[in-house]
Every structure is written in structure tokens, then in C-alpha cells.
Amino acid sequence: MIHKELSVHTYLRGERLPDDFIRLYTEAFPQEERRDWTVNADAERWAGNHKDFNILLLYYGSRFIGFLNYWTLHYKNADCSDASINYIEHLAVNPDVRNLGAGSYVIREFFNLSPGSVILEVEPPDTELAARRINLYRRLGCVLHKDIEYIQPPYFQGNKPISLLLMTSPDIQSELISNNIVPVLKWTVYGQ
């Protein structure tokens, strides 16, 4: 079973990312859905300059096979108390180990390493792959918020915004997401 050989490593600022990190990042996400990193040093520099940005690296034995990038977002609750939520920005697994549980494994490890609430963007279930991703997150306990109209800001000036859906931990109400969390997400992650 693949799970016996899987492990997650939290990237520490100043470390070198695995050689295949940028290849997997650029192959897994179209240009309009990712940062303009072209070499590992770009991602390493980004992580070094953004204290709330984190990377989990997924290994099968000693082989790098995936990653999960996330942010810790700080916002105010409806009662003005301080709160935080973990935003999953990117999750990618090498194609040769997809559908073997590696993605579920890294997400469960992320939940264990970063306890607390979670928010993430997903594509509408218009394709089989998008529907499978939503079902994966549902199986892991996330809730789809179809009632929130969410537009992902572009990563680059000149790119178009993308209509997406939001999923969260089950304990988060749509009003709190729309009014308190989404503005912080858009400012922190996209600068808008």
C-alpha cells in the first residue's frame, strides 16, 4: 500500500526545494492559476518574504511526489475577536501516483499539522476531474458553499478573474466567509 511509504515534510525557509518542485507546479496549474515562478529559487524567495505562506512537501520514500501550499490568514470574527484560517492555495501530486491516495494523505497530514479551520477554492463541477476534487474534499470533511459568488482575482495584471467555488471546514458560516474571510484572502494572497 502506498500510504506506508508516504511522508510529509514542512518546508523551512532557507531550505532548497526539491528539484522537481517547479516542474510539477508549472505542469499541474495553467499559467493563469499560478504565480510566475520559473525556477525553485523564485518559490524559495517568495516563501522567505511571506511569513504566512507555507509549503508541505510530499514524499514516497525518498522521492518527491507532490506538495500543498497554504496560507494562514488572520481576520476578525463577527464579534471583532481575532481569528485565523488556513487557506489551501495549491495541491499537486505527480500524475504517476494520482488516484493512489497520495492527495488524501497530504491533506489529512495538513489537517493534523495545521489544526483549525480551512478554506480553499475549487472549480465548479463542470468536468469529471473538478467533480472528483470536490468529492475528495467532501470526504475529508469540507463543505461546498454554492451560495457564495466567488471570483478569484488574477495572479497577473492583464489576466481575467476566474469564477470559482469555496469549500471550508464545516463550522464556518457563509456570511462570515463573505464578509470577513474573503476580503482578507483576496488582499493577502492576490494583493487585491
Q: What is the pTM of this model?
A: 0.93
Per-residue confidence (pLDDT) for residue 39, from 0 to 100: 95
Please give the chain's pLDDT, 192 residues, in tens: 466 899 999 999 999 999 999 999 999 988 888 999 999 999 999 999 999 999 999 999 999 999 999 999 999 988 999 999 999 999 999 988 877 788 899 999 998 888 789 999 999 999 998 998 899 999 999 999 999 999 999 998 888 999 999 999 998 999 999 999 999 999 999 987
Angstrom distance (rounded) from CA 93 to CA 163: 24
Per-residue confidence (pLDDT) for residue 175, from 0 to 100: 95
Domain 2-190 matching CATH 3.40.630.30: the answer reads yes
Burial class (CB within 10 angstroms; exposed 0-12, middle 13-18, buried 19+) of 125: middle
Secondary structure element (H or E) that encloses residue 49, with its range: helix 40-49
Within 8 A by CB and 6+ apart from 102, the residues are 2, 6, 58, 60, 65, 66, 93
Cα 108 to chain centroid, rounded: 13
Per-residue confidence (pLDDT) for residue 96, from 0 to 100: 87
Closest CA to 109 of 74, 164, 67, 139: 67
Per-residue confidence (pLDDT) for residue 171, from 0 to 100: 87
Q: Are 2 and 97 in contact (CB under 8 A)?
A: yes
Per-residue confidence (pLDDT) for residue 2, from 0 to 100: 66
